[in-house]
Structure 1
């Protein structure tokens, strides 16, 4: 059996090595490369032409969803499985829109991970039970879900909008401060104001909001 060439992508090296350990001892899977960012994943996919890419979603810089779209545009034959601790409806829908072939939670067991790699390599989609439930629940509740008033990004100040863009691109407080020529404390203040205005809890929610509202494109 010809080996399935796999590219691993995660900005947390411990998790990257953990996935590597689960797959590297299998005869039919060959780890051909590792990347720690979406930008690096695009370059590695272009250079090494993997059969399957296993990639985190929320990373420093470009998100896995953005990187998936770029990789698919370069080579639609490459199969992509996103792995995330967040299996929310918004992220799952964005992942599907980006054309990914699978979606798994980060606590996935070895058996399911291997099954997912083999399934997408064979040309089929693979979504874990948790992810499938999210999709089915969203479809079932879509007609009955009351429409909530959307928060308009136009309600943000110009500076808040700039900070939101930078946060959504995965930049740190210090990087944003340098980019916008403001203090780190001011960045933190803007972050607090953004989360209050948009009714969001953390930076991950800000990324999802920015993608959904096309503040950053996928």
Structure 2
């Protein structure tokens, strides 16, 4: 199993230490940096190239949401797992829209944290059942948002449609590559082009778009 390089961004030293302790016995999870605010997280992400960023939302200076937005704008393939004490659906939605690929409450067990990190590292969105249920009940009473309009007049290619469909199934880059006989780097390149062609901001929005599309076609 390949090592997963992790950057921790939290303004509380005790929380950063607790997260490092939780990961210490996992040989494949390597902490490569610590940040106490959003600006530090962005700077360290540029130099350390983490596979997953564990991001708190409430931090001084630049908060987590702003940092996620900037990270996703610079790299639509960035993989951010929000680790926070905030569990209301408004914050969850805002984090996902900003570009986070997962959302994890600080009160949840360590084993779930390890699962969340590994899923996000594989490009699979992660939401604990409790938060997913809250979000579902919040969204079911809202009118479905209209699908994002393409920023480009050209339709997706057949290959890009395949990639988008598999994203909607929650497939990781590795799984998509295995199904379509492509390298992970090629899959990431296709995902990036799909995001651009649909006029979206990041992978998480592409997953949401694919699910809306599948719901209409179903």
TM-score, reference length from structure 1 = 0.63
Q: Distance in 2 between matches of 1:89 and 1:100?
A: 14
Q: Distance in 2 between matches of 1:83 and 1:137?
A: 22
Offset at 1:141? 3.0
1:113 counterpart residue number:
113
3-state secondary structure, aligned to 1:30: strand
Structure 2 residue runs of 5 or longer lacking an equivalent are: 144-218
1:35 aligns with 2:40: no
Structure 1 residue runs of 5 or longer lacking an equivalent are: 144-218
Q: Distance in 1 between matches of 2:113 and 2:12?
A: 18
1:58 aligns with 2:49: no
Q: Tell me the C-alpha RMSD between the 2 structures.
A: 1.1
2:20 counterpart residue number:
20
4+ runs of 1 displaced by more than 6 Å?
none
1:124 aligns with 2:124: yes
What is the aligned length?
143
Q: Give the number of the structure whose alpha-carbon radius of gyration is greater.
A: 1
3-state secondary structure, aligned to 1:127: coil
Q: Distance in 2 between matches of 1:142 and 1:73?
A: 27
Distance 1:78 1:24, change over 3 A: farther
3-state secondary structure, aligned to 2:82: strand
3-state secondary structure, aligned to 2:76: coil
Residues 113-168 of structure 1 deviation map (CA, whole Å, 9 limit, x = unaligned): 0000110111110011222012101112336xxxxxxxxxxxxxxxxxxxxxxxxx
2:95 counterpart residue number:
95
TM-score, reference length from structure 2 = 0.63
Q: Distance in 2 between matches of 1:54 and 1:106?
A: 11
CA contact (8 A) 1:9 1:53 kept: yes
1:4 counterpart residue number:
4
